[in-house]
Chain A
Amino acid sequence: MLGGVQTHIARAALLVALAALLEVALSPLLTFGWVGPRFLIIGVVLAVTGLRDLQALLLGFFGGVLTDALSGGLFGVAAFGGVLAAAISLRIESARRKGETRLFVAQATVASVAVYDLIGLLAPLLAGQGGPSITGYLVGGMIPDVLLNTLLAYLASGFILKLITTKEERWT
């Protein structure tokens, strides 16, 4: 919950579904080298803000499953990334002070995108497909990727959070 407002679960789910679609259809068009927008992660981080723990985890998981199904990549990678992004967001949110929403979103995005990129690096290795050197990927892929997506999340958070939250009605 964000102060006096509450996240609408249906809107949050729609946001994650849209993010999954963008991740699959738009992200490859905007990816340069190893760097590109991670719409799913940004969507999950924003959507789970103010949700109950279980709702948030399930939303992250099913958003990831949807991405896996649509993307043609290794199945389970986005699902795992989605769950971890939701868990990271919940953990950071629990330590957040009131009124620092954008900062919280930025922090959660940094950690979530970094973890998601690491999973994306390790998964092909586990599947026997090989992968780039960790140092090269860290410098040329993960760090710029984290910076780009944090900026995107920071800029978009105000508008998107308005869309998915509703004002809490008080009993008098």
Chain B
Amino acid sequence: MGNRKPNAASTLAAFVVLCVTSLVLFTVYVKEGDSGPLHTVQLGAAEVLRPVRGLFGFATSPLSAASERVEGVLDASEVRALEEKALEYEEEAAEAARLRQENERLRALLDGEQASFTYSPLARVVAPVGGQLTRRVVINIGANDGIEPEQPVVVGNNTLVGRTTERVTPNTAEVLLINEQNFAAGVRIVPPLAPEDEPDEGSVPAPDLEGNSHGEGLLRTNWEGYLGVDYVDLSAEAEQGDFVITSGRAGERELLFPPGLLVGTIESVSSQDISQYKNIVATPAVKTDDLQEVRVILDR
């Protein structure tokens, strides 16, 4: 900053003042909570910026389409079709798991009423938002459609892809995706049904209804980008190929996500002598990079 020597002191002072102001803004933002003035400014800006984001999203859509086409060429189309079919099966299997859980709960409560999910209208993913360390998107429905903070966001009927954040405007909502490091969900590991017990050949690999849960834990994405299930006890029987679904409850406490939403399947299970928990890596059921349309579970 030294090419104008007469102003060097004032420039240095200005530099210090602006740096301190930036740090004060940062501190206020972190401490103020979601209804604070800086958060409100960002919320208003998100609403104003929606058309611009949509425009840029539209403008870059050929790029995304080309990228998908290249990916399609690299991957065999048969593999893609099989993946889609597998996803369909997994969804149905998770649905079966959810129904089983619901059934158990109903029996326990001796209550015939089962609240079914209420879904929002189909929402289009407008654009990704945030910095390089975040995985969030904006969808084109908001408070006017009944969206509230901290509601589950799914693809299809029950494949979990994220949850809404506090940034809900009348026409938009921000979604925290499952592969962001700040996302967490209580999950349960469910085994697939044994092949001989499957109703039809080639049908849904449904969970073993008579079998017990293969463990419960906390779904987290680590900073290396792996989706994992933490805090699964060493005695749990979790193994490769098991389904990961939301547990809905932690003891007596009801969790944010309803039970039975499919998250993915277990890719690997390992353990270390020094750790009291298993090291579990899961493959998400949906690639969040390819999200186009989602639904929000408004009520359960």
Chain B binds chain A = yes
A52 on the B face (CB < 8 A):
yes
Closest residue on chain A to residue B136 by CB atoms = A72
Give CA–CA (A113, B2) in the complex, Å.
21
The secondary structure that dominates the B interface is helix
Is A10 among interface residues, defined by CB-CB distance under 8 A?
no
Q: How far is the CA of A120 from the CA of B7 in the complex (A)?
A: 31
Bound-complex Cα distance A123 to B64 (A): 30
A79 to B41, CA, bound (A): 15
Do the beta carbons of A71 and B131 come within 8 Å of each other?
A: yes
- Near B by CB (< 8 A), chain A positions 77-94 give 77, 79-80, 83-84, 87, 90-91, 93-94
**Bound Cα distance A61, B51 (Å):** 26
What's the minimum C-beta distance from A1 to chain B, rounded to whole angstroms?
9
Contact-residue size bin, chain B (C-beta under 8 Å from the other chain)? 35 or more
Q: B133 to A131, Cβ gap below 8 A?
A: yes
Q: Is A28 an interface residue (CB 8 A)?
A: yes
CB neighbours of A80 from chain B (8 A) = 19, 22-23, 26
Tell me which residues from 1 to 28 in chain B have a Cβ below 8 Å from any Cβ of chain A.
Answer: 1-4, 7, 10-11, 14-15, 18-19, 21-28
How many A residues, CB 8 Å from partner? 56
**Set of chain A residues within 8 Å of B45, measured between Cβ atoms:** 69-70, 72
A103 contacts the other chain (Cβ, under 8 Å)? no
Contacting B26 at CB < 8 Å: which of A31, A35, A123? A123
Which residues of A (98-140) have their CB < 8 Å from a CB of B? 117, 120-121, 123-124, 126-133, 136
Within 8 Å CB of A34, what residues of B? 132-133
- Whether A83 contacts B22 by the Cβ 8 Å rule is yes
A36 close to B (CB within 8 Å)? yes
The answer to whether the Cβ of A26 comes within 8 Å of any Cβ in the partner chain is yes
Q: Are B21 and A71 in contact (CB under 8 A)?
A: no
**Contact flags B22-59 to A (C-beta < 8 A → 1, else 0):** 11111111100000001001100110010011011100
Please state if B130 and A73 are interface contacts (CB–CB under 8 Å).
yes
Q: How far is the CA of A69 from the CA of B29 in the complex (A)?
A: 11
Of the listed residues B26, B27, B42, the one surrounded by the most CB atoms of chain A closer than 10 A to its CB is: B26
Residue pair B21, A87 in contact (C-beta under 8 Å): no
Query: How many Å lie between the Cα of A33 and that of B38 in the bound state?
Result: 28
Residues of A within 8 A of B11 (CB): 53-54, 57, 90
> Who on chain B is nearest to A21 by CB?
B52
Contacts of A124 in B (CB 8 A): 133
Q: Taking A93-B3, A120-B132 as contacts, is the C-beta distance between A69 and B224 under 8 angstroms?
A: no
Is A91 touching B131 in the complex (CB atoms < 8 A)?
A: no
**CA distance in complex: A121, B223 (Å):** 12
- Give min CB distance, A49 to chain B, whole Å: 12
The answer to whether A58 touches B129 (Cβ under 8 A) is no
Is A14 interfacial (CB-CB < 8 Å)?
Answer: no
Least CB distance, A62 to chain B, in whole angstroms = 9
- Nearest chain B CB to A31 CB, angstrom units: 6
Q: Within the assembled complex, what's the spacing in Å between the Cα atoms of A144 and B10?
A: 36
Query: Who on chain B is nearest to A30 by CB?
Result: B60
Min Cβ gap A45→B in Å is 14
Complex Cα spacing A33 to B132, Å: 7
Contact B1 A90 (CB under 8 A): yes
Instruction: Verify if B163 is at the interface (C-beta below 8 Å from A).
Output: no
Contacts of B174 in A (CB 8 A): 72
Closest-CB distance, A68 to chain B (whole angstroms): 7
A79-B129 contact, Cβ under 8 Å, with A57-B18, A87-B15, A136-B223: no
Convert A17-36 into 0s and 1s, putting 1 for each residue whose CB lies closer than 8 angstroms to a CB of B: 00001001110111101111
Q: Which 10 A-B pairs have the closest CB atoms?
A: A76-B26, A132-B223, A76-B25, A75-B29, A80-B22, A94-B3, A53-B11, A28-B128, A79-B22, A90-B1
Taking Cβ atoms with an 8 Å cutoff, the residues of A that contact B are 21, 24-26, 28-31, 33-36, 52-54, 57-58, 60-61, 64-65, 68-77, 79-80, 83-84, 87, 90-91, 93-94, 117, 120-121, 123-124, 126-133, 136, 141, 145
5 contacts between A and B (CB under 8 A): A25-B53, A29-B56, A71-B130, A76-B23, A131-B133
